[in-house]
């Protein structure tokens, strides 16, 4: 945590280890003992509790403190769903799926998948930031609570969800002392944050009145107190109180009592804005186009331009961090940056006033389009795990770029191309359902570029095939092939033929699959294509050969794939080749031990990349080689809802058991 950063919101927690996990608390909750006890009591009595209040009052902070203290009560765990940056209604359900790490990839509606997953679990779901899509959050909460008796929901927002049975806890500002000589919760919070900024700070007889007056003028609003505390770096508490008073009188026309609390926070953020240099203000406004975290490379591309030279960007970001406008988080891959939502909203308002929102959102989209394109290229190489992690880190911004790309009537092809370029993430990293969402949306847009549309079509066909939606898969692939042949797009035509072979294989038409894989590989050779798709085409052909009894031919194909993978550092296709080699070893009489070694090597790769398709097919075959594997297989296949319907599986647990199981 950056020293002196505001600490009464999401920034008061360390980064999470993964989606849905609760962040670790890194400071003490100040002045909220009564509210915390009340919230815990309501969670005991009610299945839906909503904490409401104005921005900056500490709703998230209180909810997470209560959730952290409740983890032992729920055998299914406590999961956090961050909704403050979700603006696309269908993404609400998908955000919950992501937080729960649900691995179902069928074409069923996400809400049905959620309800089925939660039906027999005792779990607390924290829905944070419901104010932007209240109706959608309310409908989701009502249905899940009806269908999952062990579920409890803790929501935060500026107003209640309005669901029957909801218990609402209005959260007000921190307590203020009724006399200047008495310490209040607001004073305690201000003092703790002040010491974080200036370690020598203390409330003394000389400054006690000024501290108390400042806390009263800020209405005891936690985020406002924290932002004011940052000012101690450059001025005394007396001077801060004086400046705040002047600003309030200006805003309220001299009548302080007329100033509502939402204006209190805006006034303090506005004061921070006034204390920034023109360059800092400009960067603050431009940074508002980011969703969640971002890095300096993205900032330099998106925000550089008129009024902000490239060589000033990094120093300006550092200055905004020093003023707690921007929060810096340290991560293994380097520094990441973010803004609290009220601060981001303030910057977005200024960007709109400057008339620059459209241009900045376009630059933002272009940066993340470039990121997706480079990650697609890098996928064929030794850095696949790093590529997957990079997309994970930037997923919120990629979604925002997709949203903007699909909003634009003038260039729908960019949204189509971006959705298609992320094929490796949708398919290889457990995101089939989300990929289907974006691809369907992209292809519903009229017009665009033939090449971008063809790419989105074959990727949709691939995704739909793995979901078991054969009708949609065949329709998309047939359209892609016709479009590709009409426009002379040889690569798209090859991909369409290849993925039609996948449909045939998943439909158990093995001879047809072998024919299509062979035709696709011939097309790949004609155009000189070599990437993960080509290698998977060989693996598909090898599997079809093995299923028809040609184990020797299957092994020869897969050994070729293994050699290319080792040369280029490709791991994902290698894992599938190892699966076929394991199958051939088992069927060819080499023994369970030899087959298991090959399958476990591939399974470990799939697990590292978070590829549920690969994990499940490997688990199914391993199940026949281990003492307790049949039960694992029965639980494993349903997680690919499209291939075999049913319940869900904790793949991490299944993989761990499979890798440690004895060989018969």
Look at the chain and report how many structural domains it folds into.
5
Asked if residue 551 lies in contact with residue 575, where contact means CB atoms within 8 angstroms, the answer is no
Q: Are residues 17 and 151 in the same domain?
A: yes
pLDDT interval class at 9 (50, 70, 90): very low
Other C-beta atoms closer than 10 Å to the C-beta of 180 total: 12
83 found inside a domain:
yes
Tell me, yes or no, whether 351 and 363 share the same domain.
Answer: no
Which is nearest to 51 in space by CA: 135, 171, 223, 166? 171
Strand order through the sheet with 151-157 = 78-82, 123-128, 151-157, 48-52, 167-170
> Has residue 438 been placed in a domain?
no
Residue 585 lies in a domain: no
What's the rounded mean pLDDT across residues 629-641?
Answer: 42
- Number of Cβ within 10 Å of residue 17's Cβ equals 10
Query: Tokens 């009595």 appear where?
Result: 45
Per-residue pLDDT of 173-192, as tens digits, reads: 999 877 666 789 999 999 99
Taking Cα atoms as reference points, which of 73, 72, 47 lies closest to residue 152?
Answer: 47
Looking only at Cα atoms, what is the longest distance across the chain? 90
Choose one of 355, 372, 392: the last residue of a domain: 355
**616 lies in some domain:** yes
Write down the residue that tokens 């090959």 correspond to. Answer: 598
- Residue 302: is it exposed, middle or buried by C-beta count within 10 angstroms (0-12/13-18/19+)? buried
Domain span holding position 302: 276-355
Which one, of 205, 202, 171, lies nearest residue 188 by Cα? 202
Are residues 317 and 368 both part of a single domain?
A: no
Structure tokens at 645: 């319907």
Q: What is the pLDDT of residues 237-257, one digit of tens each?
A: 999 988 887 766 544 444 444
For the CA atoms of 260, 261, 262, 267, the dihedral, rounded to the nearest 10 degrees, stands at: 90
How many CB atoms within 10 Å of residue 297? Answer: 11
Query: pLDDT tens across 548-586, in order?
Result: 999 999 999 999 999 999 999 999 999 999 999 999 999
pLDDT score recorded for residue 651: 65
How much helix, strand and coil, in percent to the nearest 5, is found in the chain? 65, 5, 30
Q: Verify that 51 and 125 share a domain, yes or no.
A: yes
Question: Minimal CA–CA distance to 284: which of 276, 295, 292, 294?
Answer: 276
Indicate if the alpha-carbon torsion angle 639, 640, 641, 643 is positive or negative. negative
Are 322 and 345 part of one and the same domain? yes
- CB neighbour list of residue 630: distance below 8 Å, 6 or more residues apart: 623, 624
Kindly tell me the sign of the dihedral angle through the C-alpha atoms of 339, 343, 349, 350: negative
8 A C-beta contact, residue 580 and residue 601: no
Residue among 342, 457, 395 at smallest CA distance from 91? 395
pLDDT (tens digit, 9 = 90+) per residue, 384-407? 999 999 999 999 999 999 999 888
Alpha-carbon distance 560 to 539, whole Å? 10
Q: Is the pLDDT assigned to residue 5 strictly greater than 70?
A: no
pLDDT of residue 631: 43
Q: Evaluate whether residue 632 is within a structural domain.
A: yes
For the segment 319-326, the average pLDDT, to the nearest whole number, is 91
**CA gap 463, 453 in Å, rounded:** 15
Q: How far apart are CA 78 and CA 56, in angstroms?
A: 24
User: How many percent of the chain have pLDDT more than 70?
Assistant: 88
Give CA torsion, residues 510, 512, 518, 523, to 10 deg.
Answer: -140
Same domain, 116 and 200: no
Cβ contact 451:90 at 8 Å: no
Same domain, 190 and 291: no
**250 exposure class (CB count in 10 Å sphere: 0-12, 13-18, 19+):** exposed
Query: What's the confidence (pLDDT) of residue 650?
Result: 63
Residue 196 has pLDDT above 50, yes or no: yes
Looking at 240, 274, 308, which one is the last position of a domain? 274
Note the pTM of the prediction, 2 decimals: 0.86
Q: Has residue 97 got a pLDDT over 50? A: yes
CATH assignment of the domain containing 289:
1.10.10.10
Q: What is the spatial distance between Cα 587 and Cα 280, in angstroms, rounded to a whole number?
A: 67
When pLDDT is cut at 50, 70 and 90, the band that residue 435 belongs to is very high
Higher pLDDT, 607 or 258: 607
Give the residue among 180, 249, 279, 189 at the shortest CA–CA distance from 225. 189
pLDDT score, position 17: 41
DSSP readout, 193-249? HHHHHSTT----TTTHHHHHHHHHHTTT-HHHHHHHHHGGGTS-HHHHHHHHHHHHH
B/e letters for 189-199, b = 16+ CB within 10 Å, e = fewer, are: bbbbbbebbee
Residues 142 and 51 reside in one and the same domain: yes
Q: How far apart are CA 495 and CA 497, in angstroms?
A: 5
Radius of gyration of the chain (CA): 28
pLDDT tops 70 at residue 638: no
- Boundary residue ending a domain (423, 444, 472): 423
Residues 526-546 have pLDDT tens digits of 999 999 999 999 999 999 999
Q: In degrees rounded to 5, what are phi and psi of residue 206?
A: -70, -35
Would residue 285 count as lying in a domain? yes
Q: If you write DSSP's letter for every residue of 100-127 in order, what string do you get?
A: HT----SSS-HHHHHHHHHTT--EEEEE
Question: 346 in a domain, yes or no?
Answer: yes
Domain co-membership, 110 together with 139: yes
Whether residue 161 sits in one domain with residue 18: yes
Q: Determine what percent of the chain is predicted with pLDDT higher than 90.
A: 66
Q: Which two tokens stand for residue 462?
A: 């691939």
Q: What is the DSSP string of 340-398?
A: -HHHHHHHHHHHHHTT-HHHHHHHHHHHHHHHHHHHHHHTSSTTHHHHHHHHHHTHHHH
Average pLDDT, the chain: 87
> In terms of residues, how long is the chain?
664
Is there a single domain that holds both residue 17 and residue 111? yes
In a domain, 516, yes or no: no
Same-domain status, 131 and 228: no
């Amino acid at each position: 945590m950056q020293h002196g950063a505001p600490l009464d919101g999401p920034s008061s927690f360390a980064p999470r280890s993964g989606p849905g996990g609760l962040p670790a608390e890194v400071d003490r909750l100040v002045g909220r003992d009564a509210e915390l006890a009340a919230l815990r009591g309501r969670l005991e009595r009610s299945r839906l509790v909503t904490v409401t209040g104005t921005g900056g009052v500490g709703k998230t902070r209180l909810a997470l403190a209560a959730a952290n203290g409740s983890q032992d009560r729920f055998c299914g765990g406590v999961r956090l769903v961050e909704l403050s940056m979700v603006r696309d209604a269908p993404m609400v359900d998908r955000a919950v799926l992501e937080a729960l790490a649900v691995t179902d990839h069928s074409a069923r509606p996400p809400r049905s998948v959620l309800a089925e997953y939660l039906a027999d679990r005792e779990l607390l779901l924290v829905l944070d930031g419901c104010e932007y899509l209240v109706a959608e959050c309310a409908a989701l909460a009502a249905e899940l609570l009806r269908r999952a008796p062990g579920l409890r929901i803790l929501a935060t927002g500026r107003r209640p969800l309005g669901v029957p049975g909801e218990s609402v806890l209005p959260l007000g500002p921190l307590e203020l002392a009724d006399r200047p000589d008495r310490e209040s919760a607001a004073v305690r919070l201000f003092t703790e944050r002040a010491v974080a900024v200036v370690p020598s700070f203390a409330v003394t007889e000389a400054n006690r009145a000024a501290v108390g007056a400042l806390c009263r003028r800020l209405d005891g609003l936690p985020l406002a107190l924290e932002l004011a505390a940052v000012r101690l770096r450059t001025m005394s508490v007396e001077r801060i109180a004086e400046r705040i008073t002047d600003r309030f009188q200006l805003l309220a026309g001299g009548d302080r009592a007329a100033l509502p609390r939402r204006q209190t926070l805006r006034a303090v953020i506005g004061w921070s804005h006034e204390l920034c240099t023109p360059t800092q203000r400009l960067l603050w406004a431009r940074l508002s186009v980011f969703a969640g975290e971002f890095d300096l490379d993205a900032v330099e591309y998106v925000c550089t331009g008129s009024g902000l030279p490239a060589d000033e960007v990094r120093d300006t970001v550092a200055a905004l961090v020093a003023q707690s406008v921007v929060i810096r988080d340290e991560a293994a891959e380097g520094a990441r940056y973010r803004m609290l939502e009220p601060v981001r909203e303030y910057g977005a308002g200024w960007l709109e006033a400057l008339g620059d929102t459209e241009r900045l959102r376009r630059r933002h989209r272009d940066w993340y389009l470039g990121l997706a394109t480079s990650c697609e290229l890098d996928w064929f190489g030794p850095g696949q795990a790093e590529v997957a992690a990079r997309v994970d880190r930037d997923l919120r911004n990629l979604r925002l770029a997709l949203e903007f790309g699909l909003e634009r009537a003038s260039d729908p092809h960019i949204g189509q191309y971006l959705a298609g370029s992320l094929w490796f993430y949708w398919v290889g990293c457990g995101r089939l359902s989300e990929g289907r969402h974006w691809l369907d949306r992209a292809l519903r847009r009229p017009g665009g570029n033939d090449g971008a549309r063809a790419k989105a079509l074959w990727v949709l066909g691939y995704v739909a095939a793995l979901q078991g939606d054969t009708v949609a898969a065949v329709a998309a692939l047939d359209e892609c092939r016709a479009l590709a042949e009409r426009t002379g797009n040889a690569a798209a035509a090859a991909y369409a033929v290849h993925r039609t072979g996948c449909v045939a294989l998943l439909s158990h038409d093995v001879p047809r699959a072998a024919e299509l894989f062979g035709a696709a590989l011939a097309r790949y050779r004609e155009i000189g294509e070599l990437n993960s798709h080509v290698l998977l085409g060989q693996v598909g052909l090898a599997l079809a050969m093995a299923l028809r009894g040609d184990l020797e031919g299957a092994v020869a194909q897969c050994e070729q794939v293994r050699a290319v993978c080792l040369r280029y550092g490709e791991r994902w296709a290698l894992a599938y080749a190892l699966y076929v080699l394991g199958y051939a070893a088992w069927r060819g009489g080499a023994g369970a031990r030899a087959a298991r070694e090959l399958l476990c090597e591939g399974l470990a790769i799939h697990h590292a990349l978070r590829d549920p398709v690969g994990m499940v097919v490997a688990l199914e075959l391993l199940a026949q080689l281990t003492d307790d594997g049949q039960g694992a297989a029965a639980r494993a296949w349903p997680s690919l809802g499209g291939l075999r319907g049913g319940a869900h599986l904790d793949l991490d647990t299944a993989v761990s058991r499979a890798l440690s199981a004895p060989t018969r």
